[in-house]
Amino acid sequence: MFETIDSLKNKLDAQRPLSPSVVKNLQEDLILRWTYHSNAIEGNTLTLLETKVVLEGITVGGKALREHFEAINHRNAIYYVEDIIKKEEPFSEWQIRNIHQLILKNIDDDNAGRYRQQNVLISGATSTPPDYTLLNDKMAHFVDWYNLESNQLHPIERAAKVHANFVGIHPFIDGNGRTSRLLMNLELMKAGYPPCVITVENRLAYYEALDQWMVFGKTEAFNQLVADGVLEGFKPYQVVLGI
């Protein structure tokens, strides 16, 4: 499944380090696409171009303040993920809470970065998240698995499993989807792969693949969806670098 992707990664690695102007150009493109699609999946109604102007500091008339904050917060969470990678910080619950706190800043400050204190349902899913009283143990086991076992997986499989396991725990009252996609891409970027931007047009397949994993333990569809997203993520590099 991963041979083509790893071959492209080797070509990209041969071009590294990239020039600051190329890095800036690719980063701006990535942040816009990732922010737009991740928020749109969760119901944000800003268009791609509206997201672009919001990130440039312009208010869009007729759009809710929350939607503006969702765009700005997501961009800042990406900056934080990039900073984690730059500093080579180890994976931790503290990081996860910080990412979530950025996602909900000025939207729900009472719950930002805090594990939920009630039970929830995942709308449309056939699995039920664990009881809130188990969250501290579940999250500790999640980080322990990562630190002790996850390095045995291919980086794409590891990223997919981080996403799926986190969504299964659903530790926050809101913002779990955005946080899970940031954690998935933190893994991919750490390993030198392009992020997987799951598009809003692919939302149904995304939800179905996740449900297959969580309910039946069938991982193939979601692994393939993430791999396809990474493959798509090489296209901007191919345009800019000709690899």
Question: For residue 64, what is the domain's CATH number?
Answer: 1.10.3290.10
How many domains are there within the chain?
1
Tell me if 94 is assigned to some domain.
yes
Tell me if 8 is assigned to some domain.
no
Question: Looking at residue 242, what is its pLDDT?
Answer: 84
Tell me if 168 is assigned to some domain.
yes
Tell me if 174 is assigned to some domain.
yes
Question: Looking at residue 106, what is its pLDDT?
Answer: 98
Tell me if 226 is assigned to some domain.
yes
32 burial class (0-12, 13-18, 19+ CB within 10 angstroms)? middle
User: Does the N-terminal peptide bond of residue 195 adopt cis geometry, omega within 30 degrees of 0?
Assistant: no
Give mean pLDDT, residues 10-20.
95
Whether pLDDT at 143 is above 90:
yes
Question: Looking at residue 126, what is its pLDDT?
Answer: 73
d(CA 5, CA 159) in angstroms, rounded, equals 14
Q: What digits encode the pLDDT tens for the residues 40-78?
A: 999 999 999 999 999 999 999 999 999 999 999 999 999
Whether pLDDT at 122 is above 90:
no
Q: 140 versus 122: which is more confidently predicted?
A: 140
Give mean pLDDT, residues 71-100.
98
- The catalytically annotated residue of 37, 74, 100, 170 is 170
Tell me if 199 is assigned to some domain.
yes
Question: Looking at residue 96, what is its pLDDT?
Answer: 98
Question: Looking at residue 97, what is its pLDDT?
Answer: 98
Whether pLDDT at 123 is above 90:
no
170 catalytic, yes or no? yes
- Please state the three-class secondary structure of 33-50 as a single string: HHHHHHHHHCCCCCCHHH
Whether pLDDT at 125 is above 80:
no
Q: What digits encode the pLDDT tens for the residues 195-240?
A: 999 999 999 999 999 999 999 999 999 999 999 999 999 999 999 9
Element (H, E) at 60: none
pTM score: 0.96
Q: Which are the contacts of 135, defined by CB distance < 8 A and separation ≥ 6?
A: 115, 116, 169, 171
Question: Looking at residue 57, what is its pLDDT?
Answer: 97
- Res. 127 pLDDT band, cuts 50 70 90: confident
Q: Domain span at residue 156?
A: 19-241
